[in-house]
Structure 1
Amino acid sequence: MKRLLVFVFVFLCLPQTYVSAEVRIPPIGAEFAEERVIAIAVFDKVSADPGVILKQYPSLRLRRVFSHALNGFSIEGRRKDVDRLKRDSRISSVSESAVYEADIEDSVPFIGGDAIRGLFNKKNERLTGRGVKVGIIDTGIDYHHRDLRRSYKGGYDLVDGDRDPMEAKGNKGTLHGTHVAGIIAANGKLRGVAPEAELYVYRALGPGGKGTTEKVLQAIELAVKDKVDVLNLSLGNRVNGPDLPISKALDRAAALGITAVASNGNSGPGMWTVGSPGTSSRAISVGASTPPAKAPFISAGLGGSRKTIPIFPISGSRPWLANYSGRLIDGGLGLPKQLKQAKNKMVLIKRGEISFAEKIENAAEAGASAVLIYNNTKGSFFGRVEKKAEIAAATLSREEGKLLLKTKPYYIHTVMKIQKDQIADFSSRGPVTSTWMIKPDIVAPGVGIKSTIPEGYLSLNGTSMAAPHIAGACALLKQAHPDWTPDQMKSALMTTATQLKRNQNKYHTYEQGAGRVRLQEAAKADTFFYPSSLTLKFDRKRRTRTAAIIIENSSSSAKHYSVIQPPLQPGMVWRTPFAFTLEAGERKKVTIELALDTRKRKAAVCDGYLTVMEGAKKISLPYLYTIHEPNYPRVMGFEFVPGDRAADYRYELYLPGGADEMGIALYAKDSYRFAGFLDWLPNAPRGMIRKEVKKEKLPPKGEYIAVIFARKAGREDRIERAISIN
């Protein structure tokens, strides 16, 4: 009897979220192996006939062959048969098709867009983008818009399969592509960065602003065939890895002479949040900074405990309330029964279960003056409503929402502050996993950007708005210097950027890259660096960290260069070249070397700026190195929260190094009986995994323990969380 009592006592003392390490995760259900998927296969080195290869895999159907954007093809079939293809020696990689989302008046002059029009090219033309072909892969374009009809020259609709890339209309209408196009080349009431550039638009994202890897690859393929000079992709997923098909395709496009520009993502402010195609090594990845603008803040608390919190107005709602002082109440999830005391008050509402539009509408009907929606997962976000809201609404992070809930009494004050040259909180950060490459490469205005939308104008936030500033800048540089290569474009923009600061300290390189673009200075660059940022990698033979860089003098006269070593720190010895001279048109390869005593350095990731003097001119290059491979777990950051529609849920988790296999096993909380898999994914990519789980895929209502596991190279990591399904 004693033995039985001891056993029961130990069991009851376990934490509620604990699942014993001895609990066996059952074999994956056959339904996952039989599930039909679309995948992208890339040839190893030499192209082969996909038809010949697929004869050995009769259940797989050939969909598309890619010869420009990628050396490969797309297929459709059962997951277990796709997995067999991965073992074929003629194939270097097979990736399941992912979902990509379409995550100026003051911003254009702020980056030098007006000033550069005072410069002329060799044909004595003002720099306006004339004659430069800019491709846009997005949701389409309203080419009837009065500010865009002169700029639009053609395109293709990959969603509907025709030559009419018009934005979707109706209940599932889109506006993202038109907004992006206006930033690049609006030429009417608004003037974009390059108002006389020629726009070629490829609609790869359909209703809801979503599209697949396959559609985006097709669009890149068409852009290459159309010989565009610049290609903008204000889209992405949350997978942080350098080797995804879209990232590879942009690397290849750059090799073919196309300057590719990609948004860095809107999953900040944490490290490692950059997603593909912002992870492409040769594309210009763009983060978001603030242009000179009034931004709303909330001040809450008293005396020394007073906090000032930035908020992000929801697009489609009324302008935010300036100098509002009054009561803030907890509005729960924004359901009508939770808003009975909302009249003439500002309401704090948690994200989830119902849409933003419903939350705002419910608050308006209850007589609220404004709505604040805080996130239900870590970090901040920004939202949009299609139908014009009757009251002001804004978003803030989960952490700041909880802080406001603790502020009693709920009395707040809103203020408007002039902000400029700050990295937007939502802007994704690097570095890229596995390669430790610095991303973003550069930042541009991406907050409160007013541009064209179907039949009108609207201000939006996002790195989607920052990227077209750089695409437009590249169009101007291409007009000024038709012979510049994509690598020279990238170097000119990065080496002339201005580094931004937060509270007198520079942002990290993996937050801002080289800094905020200065277009007029970029047009005058004549020293180029390949690459324009440095990742110092461990040299086992020399026991040092090294990076090689090529410096090119493209001017018509000799130039003198010297490298200034970074400030000395304990345990660090830099070895850089002495002063040297490059004749006109000459190149030189130099090696930067760092000897490091790892016992005296604790940080896993270190970064800064290396200074190269070109005569009296100072040029800064961002650098980064790791003391050791960051000791991250195989899986982290699991969140399971209500979705934006009733009865749906969504989860997110982060795989820093990817996984051979990832899954979420559910166990009944009261009995620890296995209840099934919430999800399972083979060969899971690096980075953030976020998925909506429809109610049809959920187990019965109740309390569960979720065991989230990731297996890679023989090692398995698990995290365990208690979740509720209502």
Structure 2
Amino acid sequence: MRLRQLLLAITLVFTVAISPIQTDAILAEDMAIIVEVEGDPNKWKAYIEDYHPFVEVIHVYDTLLNALALKGKSKDLYDIDKEDFVRTIHPAQKYEVPNAAHSPSPIKPPKRNVNTPYTGKGVKVGVIDTGMDYSHPDLKRNYKGGYDVVDFDDQPMETLPTEGMPTLHGTHVSGIIAANGEMKGVAPNADLYAYRALGPGGVGSSVGIVAALEKAVEDGMDIINLSLGNSVNSPDWPTSIAVNKAIEMGVAVVIANGNAGPDNWTVASPATSVKALSVGASITEIKIPYLTIPLEDRKLPLQMLVGSPEWNFSKPYQLVNGGLGKEALPDVQGKIVIFKRGEIPFSEKVQVAEKAGAVGVIIYNNEEGVFQGGLTETTSIPVAAMTKEDGEWLLQKGKEKWAYTSYQLVKDKLAPFSSKGPVVANWDIKPEIIAPGVEIASTVPGGYQELQGTSMASPYVAGVLALIKEAHPDWGPNKLKAAVLSTAKPFKNETGSLYQPIEQGMGAIQTEKSINPEILIYESRLTFGKINEGVKEKKVDIVVENRSEETKKFRFDYPHHESGVVWDIPQTFYVKPKEKKHITVGLRVNSRKLEKGLHQGWLTLYNGNDEVYLPYLFVNETADYPKIDGVELTLSPFEQDKFKYSMYLPDGAEQLTIDLYEPESLRYVKTIVEDEEVKPGMHEGIINRGEFVENSYLVFVKIRNGKTYDSFVTEFQNFPLQP
């Protein structure tokens, strides 16, 4: 993809609405972009300064990328694109963090540092996020600098109201790591550096994420936290590759696993990085509200929206159907309004109900599954989310009835929104560890606020790594990672069974135990890959390090027998003091005797009376992972007659077609793409804009592998070309 596709002021995901008049305006605007170049970027910096005087070279990247940050008017940047040395390899995938109402709560700031003498002193932690309110009294002592790749300056402040939709996410994340005032973070004496890669509303692109990552590496960070993500489950997405390289250069990188659970395969880049420490969210302790209707045997769980006051009702209330919330409501004084998600923001729905006198709001999903949302405006009434199924049932059964609220105390459980693995293509187990991520109080501009998400779990782990790094300054990323994984404690679900490996990885972090462990286990997640057919033997190696002064005896507990699966593991082995021992775990699979799909479980390794649960995973022939992912259609303002399409195909395709249909009648219009023998990974191509005659279509992407077909359907809006 060339520079033209990186001008993201006009790049859209399947919603293209650019007229020639708009294009002229865009060409006259000032823009800041990053382009990858062939060869030495410093050489091309000098060339641009000599031959393109209206383009400013803001920064040179030569660590993770060979790239230049440029600023100028679009028409001048377009001239740069004509140079042969300019190339780009990063599609501008959208990255974002949940946005929330800026309403600091009158909460008591927590003191998170645990029972340890270590405080992260001397450890440099970089936070790649929405910036940081470094004037906050609990952060200014530890703030040491950073960079803003949105505005390209050294002031990585959160987006202010005068600059667009304000943000607070990076400040909240930073406080969890190293607040040092009235609130105490996990590592209250660590040095904090902020790298603003997400702008107004908490939105940015993969290009900015990679640029911020490179700047943090250049600045000598020991640990980097990324509480952000996109929707693409791919191990070789550019951000994941850049994270891997940063780790190879000696920086530990911790990444939020995502909030798209509870479905499988919902982990997304950059948490898909093979080398990074990906973190899911757990519930430390929470009171979950449930709605019930008299004489109906059903309890409906409520998921509070970020920025909402607490749902704390003790008496019944009547329910009112508010539709989509686009119109004013009649008097609903003292009632709960139920809205359907969609068409207008959550906060606008809530304002309609609040103005009409409602005491609370429920927003049910407009598609299957749960959702996690946030409010952009402050509200005085509680707002909760509900599944589509529960919401529709409640409207039917609760009409003209009273709804009662009951509460359930939940402790040490997996958060339902926490994204699950595995990663497609390499079948890696993600997340690798879980940490507290529900109702987490931390710093925000102007005070403190509770938020939830894997965004809050990731900085907790980053703070723990800072404690370990202070205790062991010579430990690199692999050893830091092994310390937290080797000492994790797997959680059990409501039935008393262990959560699946793709839900929790090695389990919940145990801070004190991770700081000075006697035993370290490297490559502790046993990923055996994909079994295509017949009988296959797979082997993986783990490394056991004994840091103690005495010989340790280990033994495996064989898993329950399963037809078609035979394990080859040593029953007993010894590791001498200060020794590292390589242990091979073998697996023989008879594909014909097993169901197709995902197979996972646990091997138990005993060290005396201590036990470590090692998660394992393999895929037999195929599974229900997304066969088409990351679909994008982009328009260049400089080539109005061209669209570019891209998608991620983990299995490739023997045949790929893209068809257009009329949105109302569903009548087939034409086939615009026909490709064969598409290789696994990213697939890109060009479509002439003349193929799109009408203003709207349904775009139907279909792939075939053997006798199996998979498809992806989306709406498409287009302005026809004007003469």
Report the TM-score when normalising by structure 1. 0.78
Match among 157, 177, 198 for residue 205 of structure 1: 198
The answer for the alignment partner of 2:621 in structure 1 is: 628
The answer for the alignment partner of 2:127 in structure 1 is: 136
SS at match of 2:517: coil
More displaced stretch, 358-367 vs 95-104: 95-104
- Counterpart mapping for 1:155-194 below 5 A: 155-170=146-161, 171-194=164-187
Is residue 220 from structure 1 mapped to residue 213 from structure 2 by the alignment? yes
The answer for the alignment partner of 1:387 in structure 2 is: 377
- Paired letter, 1:556: E
- Counterpart mapping for 1:62-73 below 5 A: 66-70=61-65
SS at match of 1:214: helix
The answer for the alignment partner of 2:437 in structure 1 is: 446
Q: Distance in 1 between matches of 2:150 and 2:309?
A: 33
Residue deviations 1:549-597 (CA, integer Å, cap 9, x gap): 2222233332222222212222221110242222223222222112223
Contact between 1:315 and 1:385, CA under 8 Å: does it hold in 2? Answer: yes
More displaced stretch, 128-137 vs 322-331: 322-331
The answer for the alignment partner of 1:9 in structure 2 is: none
Q: Distance in 2 between matches of 1:547 and 1:145?
A: 48
> By how many angstroms is 1:214 displaced?
1.7
> By how many angstroms is 1:98 displaced?
1.4
Q: Distance in 2 between matches of 1:100 and 1:30?
A: 22
Q: Distance in 2 between matches of 1:159 and 1:94?
A: 20
Q: Distance in 2 between matches of 1:417 and 1:439?
A: 29
Residue deviations 1:321-353 (CA, integer Å, cap 9, x gap): 33241222221101334x326332111101111
Match among 130, 135, 138 for residue 147 of structure 1: 138
- Counterpart mapping for 1:289-368 below 5 A: 289-300=282-293, 302-303=295-296, 306-337=297-328, 339-340=329-330, 342-368=332-358
Q: Distance in 2 between matches of 1:453 and 1:70?
A: 33
Is residue 402 from structure 1 mapped to residue 392 from structure 2 by the alignment? yes
> By how many angstroms is 1:707 displaced?
4.3
Q: Distance in 1 between matches of 2:590 and 2:671?
A: 49
- Counterpart mapping for 1:436-475 below 5 A: 436-475=427-466
Over aligned residue pairs, what C-alpha RMSD do you find? 4.4
> By how many angstroms is 1:269 displaced?
0.9
Q: Distance in 2 between matches of 1:698 and 1:232?
A: 46
> By how many angstroms is 1:66 displaced?
4.0
- Paired letter, 2:316: S
Match among 608, 611, 626 for residue 615 of structure 1: 608
Contact between 1:553 and 1:586, CA under 8 Å: does it hold in 2? Answer: yes
Q: Distance in 2 between matches of 1:322 and 1:684?
A: 56
Is residue 487 from structure 1 mapped to residue 478 from structure 2 by the alignment? yes
Q: Distance in 2 between matches of 1:334 and 1:173?
A: 24
SS at match of 2:188: coil
- Counterpart mapping for 1:681-696 below 5 A: none
SS at match of 1:492: helix
Q: Distance in 1 between matches of 2:666 and 2:539?
A: 55
Is residue 278 from structure 1 mapped to residue 277 from structure 2 by the alignment? no
Is residue 520 from structure 1 mapped to residue 512 from structure 2 by the alignment? yes
Match among 574, 585, 605 for residue 578 of structure 2: 585
The answer for the alignment partner of 1:195 in structure 2 is: 188
Contact between 1:429 and 1:439, CA under 8 Å: does it hold in 2? Answer: yes
Q: Distance in 2 between matches of 1:675 and 1:243?
A: 33
- Counterpart mapping for 1:529-568 below 5 A: 529-537=521-529, 543-568=536-561
The answer for the alignment partner of 1:414 in structure 2 is: 405
Match among 667, 674, 689 for residue 672 of structure 1: 667
Unpaired segments ≥5 residues, structure 2: 1-15, 99-104, 632-645, 683-691, 719-723
SS at match of 1:624: strand
The answer for the alignment partner of 1:15 in structure 2 is: none
Q: Distance in 1 between matches of 2:539 and 2:69?
A: 38
The answer for the alignment partner of 1:694 in structure 2 is: none
> By how many angstroms is 1:705 displaced?
7.1
What percentage of aligned pairs have identical amino acids? 37
Residue deviations 1:76-106 (CA, integer Å, cap 9, x gap): 999xx999999x9x99x93312121124999
- Assess, with a 3 A threshold, how the Cα gap between structure 1 residues 182 and 719 changes in structure 2: closer, same or farther: closer
> By how many angstroms is 1:189 displaced?
1.8
Report the TM-score when normalising by structure 2. 0.79
> By how many angstroms is 1:359 displaced?
0.6
- Assess, with a 3 A threshold, how the Cα gap between structure 1 residues 597 and 332 changes in structure 2: closer, same or farther: same
Contact between 2:491 and 2:498, CA under 8 Å: does it hold in 1? Answer: yes
Q: Distance in 1 between matches of 2:389 and 2:468?
A: 42
More displaced stretch, 197-206 vs 620-629: 620-629
- Assess, with a 3 A threshold, how the Cα gap between structure 1 residues 663 and 206 changes in structure 2: closer, same or farther: farther
- Assess, with a 3 A threshold, how the Cα gap between structure 1 residues 721 and 156 changes in structure 2: closer, same or farther: closer
Is residue 96 from structure 1 mapped to residue 95 from structure 2 by the alignment? no
Q: Distance in 1 between matches of 2:224 and 2:627?
A: 35
Contact between 2:519 and 2:544, CA under 8 Å: does it hold in 1? Answer: yes
Contact between 2:250 and 2:476, CA under 8 Å: does it hold in 1? Answer: yes
> By how many angstroms is 1:543 displaced?
2.3
Q: Distance in 2 between matches of 1:662 and 1:207?
A: 37
> By how many angstroms is 1:154 displaced?
1.1
Is residue 376 from structure 1 mapped to residue 366 from structure 2 by the alignment? yes
- Paired letter, 1:102: V
- Paired letter, 1:128: T
Q: Distance in 1 between matches of 2:81 and 2:423?
A: 26
- Counterpart mapping for 1:595-606 below 5 A: 595-606=588-599
> By how many angstroms is 1:442 displaced?
0.6
Contact between 1:239 and 1:685, CA under 8 Å: does it hold in 2? Answer: no
SS at match of 1:594: strand
The answer for the alignment partner of 2:5 in structure 1 is: none
Q: Distance in 2 between matches of 1:40 and 1:431?
A: 32
SS at match of 1:502: coil
> By how many angstroms is 1:712 displaced?
7.6
> By how many angstroms is 1:686 displaced?
7.2
Residue deviations 1:181-212 (CA, integer Å, cap 9, x gap): 11111112211111111101111111111112
Contact between 2:321 and 2:338, CA under 8 Å: does it hold in 1? Answer: yes
Contact between 1:659 and 1:710, CA under 8 Å: does it hold in 2? Answer: no
More displaced stretch, 560-569 vs 93-102: 93-102
The answer for the alignment partner of 1:116 in structure 2 is: 115
Residue deviations 1:218-245 (CA, integer Å, cap 9, x gap): 2111111111111101111111000112
- Assess, with a 3 A threshold, how the Cα gap between structure 1 residues 720 and 68 changes in structure 2: closer, same or farther: closer
- Assess, with a 3 A threshold, how the Cα gap between structure 1 residues 344 and 134 changes in structure 2: closer, same or farther: same
Q: Distance in 1 between matches of 2:17 and 2:717?
A: 23
More displaced stretch, 172-181 vs 217-226: 217-226
Q: Distance in 1 between matches of 2:671 and 2:591?
A: 46
- Paired letter, 1:316: G
- Paired letter, 1:153: K
